[in-house]
Structure 1
Amino acid sequence: MQHGFLCFRAEQMMIVAGDYKVNIFEGTEQYAKPRILVIHPLYNRSTNNADIMLIKLRAPMVLNKYVSLAPLPRQGTGVAEGHVCRVSGWGYNSLEGGQVPVTLRTVTVPIVSTARCNSSDSFNGNITANMICAGYNTGGKDACKGDSGGPLVCDRRVYGVVSWGNGCGDAKFPGVYTAVSRFRRWIDQTIYGSYLRCFKPWK
């Protein structure tokens, strides 16, 4: 541990880029093993605050028409209530579970104000400044179990990361996402700054 960062080994993990159907090899996939995982030092498992992690790959992915970079927002840049964003993932279609979709799925959801998300009718004060809520007043469309870590894209930038919720598609409980703009400075410092000393090769 250095500079308050926790560094984790991930020998069993494989990072895949350029995938669409998880049960079929399409020839567009690229694979890389992680060198190290860096969890944010303020991450709280009980509250899900600062629910964000960086992965340093052993080798870079090759950018092409199937694999491209996802721009991030500037530090502290917010998204207005009602702004429609897109979330993607291979998670369950409903809380009841069933079979996990093999094809990447996506849905658009509007941003919900922190005030409404924190109301007594909803999450009752459990939404921190490091979180974004998104969902419809009528429910029905949402990220779900298995989508955690997926991107919430607004204006072609990753403003959120699927974090937690109460059920899936519940009208009273929008999906909760880590607010990426709150961590942009930490991301840049970790990637480009002295915190790289945290990334120690392992066998």
Structure 2
Amino acid sequence: SLQVRLGEHNIFSNEGTEQFISSAKVIRHPNYNSRILDNDIMLIKLSSPANLNSYVKTVSLPSGCAAAGTTCLISGWGNTLSSGTNYPDLLQCLNAPILSENDCNGSYPGEITKNMFCAGFLAGGKDSCQGDSGGPVVCNGQLHGVVSWGYGCAQRNYPGVYTKVCNFNSWIQTTMSSN
């Protein structure tokens, strides 16, 4: 089983806010395609309930799909260098805009499915990276994306690609209620 760490901030020191809960079940999307990374989403059922407090909170599912230009917060403990390796101790955060379908398809022709969107900066310099995958993209307090893939990290004209959570609302709700 997986161990889920909640309330984490500095992954190398115990700050007293963490909760460690093992997974009871890991549910991959039935149509996940590892070759093209379509339907890149999964759910983890905890073996015991999380204790919600000021360090551990839930995030809302999206009420609709977010528009291009919406600013979102992307976070993780992934690599902070585009060439080379530096994994940080502290949770890193980036404010980044959702890009238009046109820009996204222009960067990755033929590779973007209806279940993906791009976010970040075509100029490069700021992006999610290895070690951030599976992490959240939160826009206006709602979970709109999951860190999925990209070409390198923070490269010019190659923004990050994210799972489009709004397309999976019903799968998430159905799966949660039946498990």
TM normalised by structure 1 equals 0.85
SS in structure 2 at match of 1:185? helix
Whether the 8 Å CA contact 2:59–2:143 is kept in 1: the answer is: yes
2:158 aligned to which of 173, 190, 199: 173
1:7-56, Cα deviation, whole Å (9 max, x unpaired) = xxx2xx21000010000000000010001100001100000000000000
Aligned identity (percent) is 44
CA contact (8 A) 1:30 1:61 kept: yes
**Contact 1:92 1:98 (8 Å CA) reproduced:** yes
Moved over 2 A (4+): 95-99
2:100 to 113, 121, 137: 113
**Cα displacement string for residues 128-149 of structure 1 (whole angstroms, at most 9, x for unaligned residues):** 1101110112111110010001
Q: Residue in 1 aligned with 2:13? A: 24
Query: Where do 5+ consecutive residues of structure 2 fail to align?
Result: none
In structure 2, distance between residues paired with 1:93 and 1:99? 6
- Report the count of equivalent residues: 179
CA distance in 2, matches of 1:97, 1:15: 28
Partner of 2:57: 68
CA shift digits 1:31-83 (9 cap, x unpaired): 10001100001100000000000000100110011111111113xx2211111
Q: 1-side partners of 2:108 and 2:17: how far apart?
A: 41
The alignment partner of 2:174 has SS state of helix
Q: Determine whether 1:185 maps to 2:170.
A: yes
Q: Distance in 1 between matches of 2:39 and 2:84?
A: 27
> Structure 2 matches for 1:94-113, cutoff 5 A?
94-113=81-100
SS of the aligned residue for 2:98 comes to strand
Higher alpha-carbon deviation: 45-54 or 94-103: 94-103
SS of residue matched to 2:9: coil
TM normalised by structure 2 equals 0.97
Deviation at 1:115, TM superposition (A): 2.0
2:85 and 2:151 map into 1 onto residues whose CA distance is 18
Partner of 1:127: 112
Give the letter for the 1:57 counterpart: L
| Letter matched to residue 44 of structure 1 | N
| Partner residue, 1:81 | 68
Pick the structure with greater CA Rg. Answer: 1
